[in-house]
Amino acid sequence: MTPWQGGTAVITGAASGFGLEASRIAARRGMNVVMADVQQGALDRAAQEIEGLGAAVLRHRLDVSKAAEVEALGAATMARFGAPCFVFNNAGVGAGGLIWEQSAQDWEWVIGVNLMGVAHGVRVFTPLMLAAAEADPGWRGHIVNTASMAGLLNAPNMGVYNASKHAVVSISETLYQDLALVSTQVHAHVLCPFFVPTGIHQSERNRPAELKRSQAPTRSQVIAQAMSDQAVTRGKVSAADVAQFVFDAMDARRFYIYSHPKSLASVQTRLEDLMTPRNPTDPFVARPEIGAQLRQALRG
């Protein structure tokens, strides 16, 4: 078990969803909490709540896609609390539509937040944690990167999101292996949730002005948004449940963290596609009516 009491958690996307729930758990475990988010108002409200739980809080507004801003977060964390023992690279956005209809702005935004946000977090905080481990043989640290089941599957009409999350799984697995070469005290984990009510379906509210769409959404993008709204809001597993799964996995030193283990059957099918080899299996094979509705909607 990791002695969380008195340690420091750094959490991006901390103003809502998994990040806010993880902040609550960290506070209840007696941790200092560094809360980072792009939404200043929501961040202020969330930080005030976590302070009310008795935690020492450092709130930090940032865009995780910006290298210099994540570096500033690292410096601020060290100045206030020292090296964190839990880093949750969690900030993320969603976007859908047929892959050839994704604009350059769509790619830059989603890859910037979902992929480069994780890359910057790993690059900035891992050396700080390794240095803390070297200085204290009893010190333990954990880095958790938020991917998605979309990082293990390739559902249609959400290609840019799939690509970003597959990359996060790859980064996380490589980080796990790289850390094992140099330390037994710092551990990596990857979170692969399925549909959970978090607000990610409302990501457009946080898209930077310079990356706004220059044209109206295409038919496929409108359909993707509607499907995302429905799937996310109807999720039965809560963000609080998932945050607890994260802490449970760190306590057990378990790398893969799933919110919906039954969804792994689709991952097994994909692996069989790869190994057979055979063409990718229809993702709607178990529910053909949904596939038929999507095809009809896209074809107009």
Residues 6+ apart with CB under 8 A from 198: 16, 17, 18, 232, 239
Q: Strand, coil or helix: what is 187?
A: strand
* HSE-up (13 A, CA, CB side) for residue 42: 16
Q: Alpha helix locations (H) across the chain?
A: 17-28, 40-52, 67-80, 104-110, 117-135, 159-182, 219-233, 239-252, 264-275, 288-299
SS3 235: coil
Cβ-in-10-Å burial (0-12, 13-18, 19+) of 145 comes to: buried
State the virtual CA torsion across 254, 73, 59, 6 in degrees, nearest 10.
50
**Of how many residues is the chain composed?**
300
Alpha carbons 48 and 297: distance in angstroms, whole number: 45
Peptide bond into 277 cis (omega under 30): yes
Distance, CA of 157 to CA of 270 (rounded, Å): 17
Record the tokens describing residue 208, joined without a space: 């930077």
Give the count of beta carbons closer than 10 Å to the beta carbon of residue 273: 13
- Which residues are annotated as catalytic? 161
Q: How many CB atoms lie within 10 A of CB 284?
A: 16
